[in-house]
Amino acid sequence: MSVATTRARARDLPHPDSDRYKWLVLTNTTLGVMMATIDTSIVLIALPDIFKGIGINPLLPGNTFYLLWMILGFMIVTSVLVVSLGRLGDMLGRVKMYNFGFVVYTLFSLLLSITWMSGTSAALWLLIMRLFQGVGAAFLIANSTAILTDVFPEHQRGMAIGVNQMAAISGSFIGLVLGGLLGPIQWRLIFIISVPVGIFCTIWAYTKLREIPSKRDCQIDWSGNLAFALGLVALMVGITYGIQPYGGHVMGWTSPLVLGSLGIGIVSLVLFARIEVRSPDPMFRLSLFRIRAFTAGGVSTLLAAIGRGGLMFTMVIWLQGIWLPLHGYKFSETPLWAGIALLPLTVGVLMAGPLCGHLSDRFGSRAFTVGGMIGAAVAFFTLQFLPANFSYPEFGGLLLLIGLSMGAFTAPNRVAVMNALPAEHRGVGSGMNSTFQNSGQVFSIGIFFTLMIIGLSGTLPHALLVGLRAQGVSPAVAHHVATLPPVTTLFASFLGYNPMAHLLGAHVISTLSPGARATIVGREFFPRIIQKAFAAGLHPALDFAAIICALAAVTSWMRGTRTTQPRASMSSDSVEPPTNAD
């Protein structure tokens, strides 16, 4: 493009300070973030259709690697990269990095949909392409909030970031419904759907968004990046494989792989902290933690993500494994209807996110973040008093309360974090906050599954043994099925398989009487067998979530009532804490 053409194009673009440009940026970044977060969950519901389409059984021991990394790989990549890519935005231009993220995301969404292989080769292709799709999402997530903070004045940032964060949270639940709708039609559609949106937004962002000068002359902290990536990946690998059986144990927390990964992760992150303290241009700017509002917001983000991150998996298993079959839904239909049943969460976020973000511009963030976390803690604690075969209005009401609470917390908290940052550090600060959120979600999944498996392992084996023997299953087969790792049962429920048909196998089922066969693979046998055992695992998980959300409320209270944004001219190595009025 010639210099004259570039200048002409610049004259045609709205000025960064104009009202028109602010709303253009908000619309584009909201679409980008929603597209990225939809793809964090759209795969979850469509996994049975994906694996069926490529001809692989994800529940076989050798294939659980593909299952777990298809679920968690996207989140792990974004957790590792958002800080580095936010820093690149600070250095090279946030709009430039954001636009590049659209290109990467769209390209790998397309490559995901054109898989020509089958079996494990196809699974490996999908896994690798999914990881690179996560790279594109990390570019979008790392820079979108910083771009919004650049163009919206402080008295409107709460509303703008509220809309953006509403899109991020609701996108994860919208993805559940889309996955359930598109997967049965054609599994490739769950990836193709992102392509036209990505192409449109890429062209739109390139032609309309303008770079606001904030670049700094500094170097990329390669050693810090490497130590951080190694540490975070190792920790997440350890947590991922910790929930899988190992040897004669129902979980793998004593596995050398898990212990080694956790050890490497901890050592690498300690080394990372030492590198950052000494680096002239650190990746993870530790001096930002001197800012009280930033530190309180970051810790609150981490705690809130840990408290709610495993919620989606827990609720989906509850719905698919127990409630929906008991209400007449086939196991194969439960993934779609589980997504629909969770819609009150999305409604709550949509209602509270923009409103509380807007109100936080006038009244400050603390009341909303504290109130949101208290509301979430109350909802999590109350959920455990519902019976496994609950009344949906009560269940839906509690989901709505969780959505409202999360919406009330997320946008004001992010606004407080961004308002506390110097202008030249908004990209890296936004990336740090996103790292807290994404890594907290992965840690939460490991914690929730661990607590549920502990609960299940104490009661499920006996319940299965008694139930199967009552239907004429031989003692040897009944004992074998009853002693299988509970995680196998959880994954079967989560993927929409008929759990008993999977656990027993077609050969065993064919040897049973017609009546016993109809009972065991029917819609009520498994839900009634697992109800008590599921409650034994669910209650500790919900208690944990309630306690973590209560701690997030305390941390949010400690941020203070008012912050003033640090001066943009500060030295990059000496960040002055903002004023706090308690």
In angstroms, the CA 131 to CA 380 distance is 32
CB 484 within 8 A of CB 274: no
The top-scoring range by mean pLDDT among 154-163, 273-282, 533-542 is 533-542
Longest Cα–Cα distance in the chain: 84
pLDDT of residue 149: 79
Whether 576 shows a pLDDT value over 60: the answer reads no
- The per-residue b/e assignment along 433-460, b for 16 or more CB within 10 angstroms, e otherwise, is bbbbbbbbbbbbbbbbbbbbbbbbbebb
Quick one: pLDDT band at residue 581, thresholds 50, 70, 90? very low
Q: What is d(CA 231, CA 261) in angstroms, rounded to the nearest whole number?
A: 9
Q: Which neighbouring-strand residues pair with 249? A: 246
Q: What is the mean pLDDT of residues 5-29?
A: 65
Q: How far apart are the first and last CA of the chain?
A: 54
- In this structure, what are the phi and psi dihedrals at residue 231, rounded to the nearest 5 degrees? -65, -45
pLDDT at position 289 is: 82
For residues 108-140, one letter each, b for 16 or more C-beta atoms within 10 angstroms of the residue's C-beta and e for the rest, the string is bbbbbbebeeeeeebbebbeebbebbbbbbbbb
State the pLDDT at residue 34.
85
Query: Do 190 and 42 form a contact (C-beta atoms < 8 A)?
Result: yes
Q: Over the stretch 222-258, which tens digit does the pLDDT of each residue have?
A: 788 788 888 888 887 887 788 777 777 778 888 898 8
Q: pLDDT band for position 377 (50/70/90)? A: very high
DSSP state at residue 481: H
Beta bridge partners of 563: 580
pLDDT of residue 394: 94
Determine which of 166-170, 512-516, 556-560 has the lowest per-residue pLDDT on average. 166-170
For residue 399, is pLDDT > 80? yes
Q: Tell me, what's the pLDDT at 7?
A: 46
pLDDT tens string 58-109:
777 677 778 778 877 887 888 778 777 877 887 788 888 889 998 999 999 9
User: Tokens 């989560």 correspond to what residue?
Assistant: 494
Give me the residue label for tokens 């109809």: 518
Least confident of 62-66, 329-333, 481-485: 62-66
282 token code pair:
């650190």
pLDDT of residue 296: 87
Sorting pLDDT into bands at 50, 70 and 90, what band is 574? very low
Structure confidence by residue, pLDDT tens digits, 456-473: 888 888 888 888 888 888
pLDDT at 129: 93
Q: Helix, strand, or coil here: 213?
A: coil
How far is residue 414's CA from residue 145's CA, in Å, rounded to a whole number? 9
How far from chain centre, in Å, is Cα 544? Answer: 18
* CB-CB neighbours of 421 under 10 Å: 28
Q: What's the whole-number mean pLDDT along residues 538-546? A: 90
Task: Compute the C-alpha angle 237/427/309, nearest 5°.
Answer: 40
Residue 391 scores a pLDDT above 70: yes
CA distance 518 to 310: 34
Highest mean pLDDT among 45-49, 234-238, 264-268: 264-268
DSSP-H helix ranges across 319-425: 324-326, 334-341, 343-363, 366-383, 392-419
Q: Work out the percent of the chain whose per-residue pLDDT is above 70.
A: 91
Q: Which two tokens stand for residue 367?
A: 């009341």
Query: What pLDDT sits at residue 381?
Result: 93
β partners of residue 580 = 563
Inform me whether the pLDDT recorded for 295 exceeds 50.
Answer: yes
Q: Pick the range with the lowest mean pLDDT from 3-7, 144-148, 578-582.
A: 578-582
Which pLDDT band holds residue 213 (cuts at 50, 70, 90)? low
pLDDT at 218: 63
The whole-model pTM stands at 0.78
Q: How would residue 11 be classed by pLDDT, with cut points 50, 70 and 90? A: very low
Q: Over range 382-407, report the average pLDDT.
A: 92
Q: How far is CA 350 from the centre of its chain?
A: 17
Q: Which residue has the higher pLDDT, 303 or 311?
A: 303
Is the CB of residue 100 less than 8 Å from the CB of residue 132? no
Q: Given a cut of 80, is residue 195 above it in pLDDT? A: yes
- Give the per-residue pLDDT at 570: 41
Give the domain ranges of the chain.
Answer: 14-211+283-456+533-557, 221-282
Look up the CATH architecture of domain 14-211+283-456+533-557: Up-down Bundle (1.20)
What pLDDT shows up at residue 573? 45
User: For position 579, what pLDDT does the model report?
Assistant: 43
Question: Which residues lie below 8 Å from residue 86, measured CB to CB, with a gap of 6+?
Answer: 142, 143, 146, 427, 428, 429, 430, 431, 432, 434
CA-to-CA dists, residue 142 to 76, 88, 316, 466, 547, angstroms: 14, 9, 29, 52, 29
State the SS3 of 429-450: HHHHHHHHHHHHHHHHHHHHHH
Task: Kindly tell me if the per-residue pLDDT of 371 is higher than 90.
Answer: yes
Angstrom distances, CA of residue 132 to CA of 62, 108, 138: 23, 6, 10
With beta carbons less than 8 A apart as the criterion, state whether 307 and 270 touch.
no
Q: Which residue has the higher pLDDT, 170 or 535?
A: 535
Q: What is the mean pLDDT of the chain?
A: 81
Tokens representing 416 are 């407080």
Mean pLDDT, rounded, for 320-326: 88
Helices 292-309 and 525-557 cross at an angle (nearest 10°) of 170
Is the pLDDT score of 395 beyond 90?
yes
Residue 572 has pLDDT above 50, yes or no: no
Q: Which pLDDT score is estimated for 17?
A: 54
The mean pLDDT value for 342-349 works out to 86
> What is the mean pLDDT of the segment spanning 4-16?
48
Task: Report which secondary-structure segment, H or E, holds 547.
Answer: helix 525-557
Tokens of 388: 């496994």
Q: Can you spell out the DSSP letters for 316-349? A: HHHIIIIIHHHTT--GGGHHHHHHHHTHHHHHHH
pLDDT confidence of residue 5: 46
What local confidence, expressed as pLDDT, does residue 237 receive?
81
pLDDT score, position 513: 87
Tokens describing residue 183: 């997967």
pLDDT value at residue 471: 87
Predicted confidence at residue 3, as pLDDT, reads 44
DSSP-derived 3-state class of residue 292:
helix
**Mean pLDDT, residues 531-554:** 90
Query: How is residue 558 written in tokens?
Result: 């400690």
pLDDT surpassing 80 at residue 137: yes
Rounded to whole angstroms, how far apart are CA atoms 174 and 165? 14
Give the model's confidence band at 6: pLDDT under 50 very low, under 70 low, under 90 confident, else very high.
very low
Assign 263 to helix, strand or coil: helix
At 561, is the pLDDT very low, low, confident or very high (cuts 50, 70, 90)?
Answer: low
* pLDDT, greater one: 371 or 41: 371
H or E stretch covering 563: none
Q: Binning pLDDT at 50, 70 and 90, where does residue 217 land?
A: low
Residue 524 carries which DSSP code?
T
Distance separating alpha carbons of residues 402 and 410, to the nearest angstrom: 12
Q: According to the model, what pLDDT value does residue 580 have?
A: 43
